[in-house]
Structure 1
Amino acid sequence: MVLAIFFALLLEQLRPLEGPRSIARSLRHLMVVLRRSLDAGAGWQAALLWALVAAGPALLSWLVYALLLAWLGWFAAFVWTVGVLAATLGFRSFSLHFTRIRNALSMGDEGQAAAALLEWQQLLRPGQPAAPWMLRRLRGEALVAQTIKVSLLYMHRHVFGVFAAFGLLAPLGLGPAGAVLLRCAEYAYRQWSETYPGRAAEARASPALNRLARQAWAVVDAVPVRCSALVFAAVGRFEEALGAWRAHRASSPDDAEGALLGAAVAAMGLPRAAFEWPGLGALGALGALVRLSATERIDDALDDSEAKDVLDVQALHDLATLIWRALLLWGGLLTMVLLLSAVL
């Protein structure tokens, strides 16, 4: 299992970035076609759609793994596992985009950093500069805070959550099915549940599908999000991180990823209040931002006089350190799981 993740990370570093984007575009097109054909608002239709998009690929990945293991042996199943993990992981994409943002901020170019952040979220085309009205929101501490939020959620959904889902189900003989289930469930949640004001009404999921996508993602991510929070806490300020997790869960019990953000921010030693900028959510509000009319007035834009000088480019260096420590800890934890499974 540890070797599979190691080789998957190595293979992921060698693949072109256009590969995952092509897969995402194909999956998005398939989801649009299926939703238009099957989503009429009934509960059973929503369940069927989610099964086709999320449970189906996970089941198929396990079936191929089981057949390869039975017919060709463990090495063929291992190669399949490595290939599937490499397709589900997104660490290289994170490192490239995050480095661009950090370097731009180090040089004092907030416009380039904001454009890189929006391009990372596929809200701007490559090379397209951020419009001045976008920079009214994404500047200074707000830009750093938004970069940290997006980075933490991305690392959970695309890397550490995948590790957890794979590590939980692989010892049960399910191969890479856990990683596939988590990524597909997250993609269904993102496409069918996270809404943006600029999305046309005919492109939105029905209330039944929206609700099911949210509930299914909460179930699939229940254990992985806690694993990610514990790892961030373990490599940072443990007591502060756990306290932030408990406080957020007490006030918002259904917002597990918000609790993860609070725990990771506390693990870095940063105040949670520094991330509570008006109108800046983790992902959905960022999408809403770029869909605002360029002529629309943004009344709650942050004034320079309100800056608290808490967040700067050093916070991004601290975030990179936290993520690398978490990556090393994940390697140690998965090695322990491998040894325990071998002994038992």
Structure 2
Amino acid sequence: MLKTNLKIILYLFILISGLSFASPDTFQIVDRIPVGERTFHIDIYGNYATICNYSGTVKVIDYVNGDVTLYVDNGIISRPMAGYYINNYLYVIDNGDPSVKVINKWGNLSRKLRLKARPINMKVLNDKFYITTTNPYGLYIVEKKSLKIEKFYEFPVKTPFISIINNDVLIPMYENEKDNILNTYKLLFRVSDKKFIMNLKRIVFPIDIEKYKDKYYLGEYFDGGIYEFWDNYQKKIAQFGKMLINIGIFNDNIIGNSLFGGLYIYSLKDKTTKVILKNIPITDFAYNSKNDFLFAISHITGEFFVIDKNFQIYETLKLDDYPIDVEVPTDDIILVLCTDGKTLNIIRRF
């Protein structure tokens, strides 16, 4: 009798488990962490998300557990713009006091590297920090371990955006036009060979770069053009509306989001373009490493859209006010920063 009961229990467990495995995925907001005013982007390193509050504070959040690991609000930083929490140290750029600052896990200043230009963006790759600047416009390369400047490259125009592709860093010459006159004929700077790629097709306000099967693609901000390019080759292949914010590669498609409305999809296989969420301004989008879901946010409607690989709306969630940045650090965790809502929304896939 005991064996029979055990068999029944085992059978029911297998049946219930099978049903749960077969159930469709669902997405839920599991936490809303206060981050303060004037927060505009998320920096990810390991299990930590760094939220810089341009009013002078920084929060480091363990997004797996939903815990605040470090909160710096003691006046050490005047205008933090980006930061990474690495091995119990926060590396942050300060635009108000031009420098790279290293803060330990107790919130105290450990080291400081003064800069001659004002830092506005930072990425980390292979134990080096790549920092774009204004006054003058340029790029610092800083060694993480020694916290010493390896090189500074000066640029002719403002270059706030950094694209990391494989083990290379590409810097688009962003503010390259004024009053229909090009301020520079340089399109972008490639760190690997210290070379500028020239602008052959009058590409204006280049903003984002991606790579797919040995070909490179670039998006324009105001005009919304998508270009296939390399050193001596540039060709416009698609139009993604106007006010294009980002581009990405999702399966065999180039994806782009427009502040005028719509998530644009260009098929690299059949060379066609389609639009979803056409009448909804999209602030940002991201996708997981499995490429089975695409996530988009609208700052106007305050919505979070889950889109499947067939580009059907799978699920929609209501967020706090003015979602501005979405990141997908794991296949099951999505982070959305809401500027007016002053929160980091942690969304989990179940």
Q: TM-score range, shorter-chain basis?
A: under 0.3
Q: Which has the higher strand share?
A: 2
Choose between structure 1 and 2: higher helix proportion. Answer: 1
Higher RCO (CA 8 Å, separation ≥ 6 residues):
1
Q: TM-score, normalised by structure 1?
A: 0.25
Q: Using structure 2 for the length normalisation, give the TM-score.
A: 0.25
- Which of structures 1 and 2 has the bigger CA Rg? 2
